[in-house]
Structure 1
Amino acid sequence: MASPEPQQIGVVGGGIRGSMFAAAVRQNPAARLEAVCEPDPTRRERIASDLDVATFGDLASMIDSTPELTALIIATPDFAHREVALAGIAAGLDLMIEKPLATTRPDARAIVAAAQAAGTKIMVGFENRWNPRFAEVRRQLAAHPAPVVNQVINLNDTRYVPTRMLSWAARSSPGWFLMPHSLDLAMWLSGATPISVFARGRRGALAAAGVDTWDALTASFTMSDDSLLVLNSQWVLPETTPAVFDFRYEIHTEAASYHFDISHDSVTRYDASGASWLQFGVTEHQGRLRGIPIDMVDDFIASLGGSPLDLPDGPHGELITTAIEAVHDAAESGTPQAIAPTRSTLPTL
């Protein structure tokens, strides 16, 4: 039997995540990396050299020049997903979109509605689902069901992220950049959805550094199973913190409690300059990239080939956007916010 034709994939965005996704596509035998779209000429040159792939400065040129494309992976800044997604949908392409789906509910609604009308598949890149630790706890919770009492997730970054890593941090926040990961994880493990939220925020340190956004946000959700969920995210950890992020998670049911400390899942190195942590999100082994984001891309490609996988889709991404928008509204207004359910459905990935 002949092997199926490889999926022909383009990547939009050549930053840290886009470059990694492109490399993951390139090494997957069921896919072919056809093109990368990146407006910055220095990045384009690097990507073309490193990956031996055609590069384009704008999406329209890439789509027009590569009619063989079957899918796009979108890794543009969080606020810049709508235009790219709608162009991909108009071209008949299936999409993997880096989380969050969008940073406004109208943008998320427009993407999902267009995909629904076109029959386009969407997967949103909530990569914690590919962490084997979380997957095992989800299996245990399903095997031994008990009511969830509460969940608490602390997901924070050092100041490096908003002040030096992201040129667009003022158009985002620790809520948009970090909380979608946390909320998706809480929903995936518990099976519950957010109903309402109260939130508080703090501004000052980042604004003084020229990045006008929230320093920290704390959100308290009421969930559909009557459990409680607290999300804490900040962008002002000191850069002397050994890792760029701090990720601690607890889930408590009436029968069991689980505690995770993902940021300490590392090797500590000691030398003349002090202690540092070697993180292993993505590594290279025997000439191939390995790690949770790579597994996520591999499953997206498998789903395009017809594998019946349970993946986060467009309506789920729209609900996450709706909930995180409500966090920001609650923090601004000082009043609780109801979280309206989403209505859309899409073909199963």
Structure 2
Amino acid sequence: MRVGIVGAGWAANEHSATLARLDGVTIAGFADLDVTRAKELAARYGATHHATAGSLIAAEELDAVVVATPPGAHREAAIEAIEAGLAVFLEKPIARSLEDATSIAAAAEAAGTVCAVGYQWRAIPALDSLAAALEGEGVRQIVSEGTGITQARSWFSNTALSGGLISERGSHHIDLQRAVGGEIVSVQTAGSRLVAQELGHASDLGRGTETGVAMTLHFASGALGIVHVLWVPETYPSRHRLTAFGSTSMYELDLDPVFSLRRDSGEPVLPDPAGEHPFAIGLIRFVDAARRQDPEGVICSPREAASTLAVVVACEHALVSGRTVPVEPLTGTAG
């Protein structure tokens, strides 16, 4: 299986390392507007380098493409690959706008191609155990915490490419809450800002960027979701956790880097299993699905990722308006 990678940043580096150790997978080429970065990665894996996704797709005989560029640059590369008959793995979020997201999802569904989006927490083994534990008693409230080092990219403050903290960090928690609690119909958002100097290495964020966000999610079921995410300096402790409150029990799901599920009593439901990190599992599952030509075999489909983006966009609007904002229903035909 020959794979091309669009992008040469952090995510491309991580995905390359995973692909390189899979039997029968060859990294054929990289594409990045920063050709120097593409050339350096290509040299590491004995691959070719290109300036654009179109050039990569035209020059190489590929079976699949990994798109690891900023979200605002996803649409063109993804649809080019889909129209060329290739399987596509997209980094999250699926796109910057709902128009782009629904276009990608519709193209993949029309072509019947395998397309996945990298919401890796859907690959946590404990998630199935949590769903089974909550089955029958329902969900009353879900609380997500996401505190971690900034790891700012220069494009985070470019609204055409990224939604900042809500999009880059918060969307992971929004997507996980959707996986546990179902569809979200409206949201409220509040944010806080710190000057760059207070975050040390986070100067790339720019002055107007939120460094702390709290989101309230209203589920169609009547349940309530709360998400708070915070960018912090390197010396600050990180914590990523989801707590689900059912009718009779509470469950705590520890997230990156440890994945384990506990009941309210503290008794483990499913301990952290040995094996692959969910970031790698999502890509490995995509490769397996692409080999089988099975669009249903991925961790997160483009339609699911587009539904998560609809909540992200609503949260962004709520942050600006200070009001409760309904989640816009998706247009287009589901596969």
Q: For the superposition of Structure 1 and Structure 2, which TM-score range results when normalised by the shorter chain?
A: 0.7 to 0.9
Question: CA offset at residue 126 of structure 1?
Answer: 0.6
TM-score normalised to structure 1 length: 0.81
AA matched with 2:70? P
Instruction: Give the aligned partner of residue 149 of structure 2.
Output: 158
Which among 137, 140, 144 is matched to residue 146 of structure 1? Answer: 137
- Matching residue within 165, 168, 173 for 2:155: 168
Pick aligned residue for 1:200 from 181, 190, 202: 190
Pairing 1:336–2:324 present: yes
Greater CA drift, 92-101 or 18-27: 18-27
**TM-superposed deviation, 1:141:** 3.1
More displaced, 167-176 or 255-264? 255-264
For the Cα contact (< 8 Å) 2:148–2:236, is it kept in 1? no
Displacement of 1:19: 1.6
2:288 matched to which residue of 1? 302
Q: Find the aligned partners of 2:56 and 2:213 in 1 and give their Cα distance.
A: 38
Q: Which position in structure 2 is the counterpart of 1:239? A: 234
For 1:128, what is the secondary structure of its paired residue? helix
Q: Distance in 2 between matches of 1:304 and 1:121?
A: 6
Aligned equivalents of 2:257, 2:78: Cα separation in 1: 35
Give secondary structure in 2 for the equivalent of 1:168: helix
Indicate if the aligned counterparts of 2:178 and 2:308 stay in contact, CA closer than 8 A: no
Could you report, residue by residue, the CA deviation over 1:299-339 in whole angstroms, capped at 9, with x for unpaired residues? 00111122553531111111111110000101100111111
Deviations 1:234-280 (A, max 9, x none): 22x232124xx4312211101221123435739xxxxxxxxxxxxxx
The residue that corresponds to 2:180 in the other structure is 189
CA shift for structure 1 position 13: 1.1
1:10 aligns with 2:1: no
For residues 100-158 of structure 1, the C-alpha deviation after alignment (integer angstroms, 9 at most, x for no partner) is: 0012112212222333333333211110122233343234334xx21100001011333
- TM-score normalized by structure 2? 0.84
Decide whether the 8 Å contact of 1:100 with 1:317 is kept in 2. yes
Whether 1:90 aligns to 2:86 is no
- The count of aligned residue pairs is 310
CA contact (8 A) 1:14 1:47 kept: yes
Q: Any unmatched runs of 5+ in structure 2?
A: 260-273
CA distance in 1, matches of 2:220, 2:196: 35
Q: What's the C-alpha RMSD, in Å, of the aligned pairs?
A: 2.5
1:227 matched to 2:227? The reply is no
Bigger mean CA deviation after superposition, 302-311 or 223-232: 302-311
Tell me if the contact between 1:35 and 1:54 (Cα under 8 Å) persists in the aligned partners: yes
User: Which of 35, 38, 41 is matched with 1:44 structurally?
Assistant: 38
Distance 1:256 1:77 in 2: 40
**Could you tell which deviates more after superposition, 96-105 or 150-159?**
150-159
Q: Which amino acid aligns with 2:183?
A: T
Residue in 1 that maps onto 2:277? 291
- Mapped contact 2:282–2:298 kept (Cα < 8 A): no
1:197-239 CA-partner distances (Å, limit 9, x unpaired): 111122342499534322222111110211100111122x232
SS in 2 for 1:18: helix
1:33-72 equivalent positions in 2, closer than 5 A: 33-66=27-60, 68-72=61-65
State the secondary structure of the residue aligned to 2:297.
coil
Tell me the percent identity: 24
Bigger shift: residues 82-91 or 109-118: 109-118
Give yes or no for contact 2:188–2:216 (8 Å, CA) kept in 1: yes
Equivalence for 2:121: 128
Say whether the 8 Å CA contact 2:31–2:56 is kept in structure 1.
Answer: yes
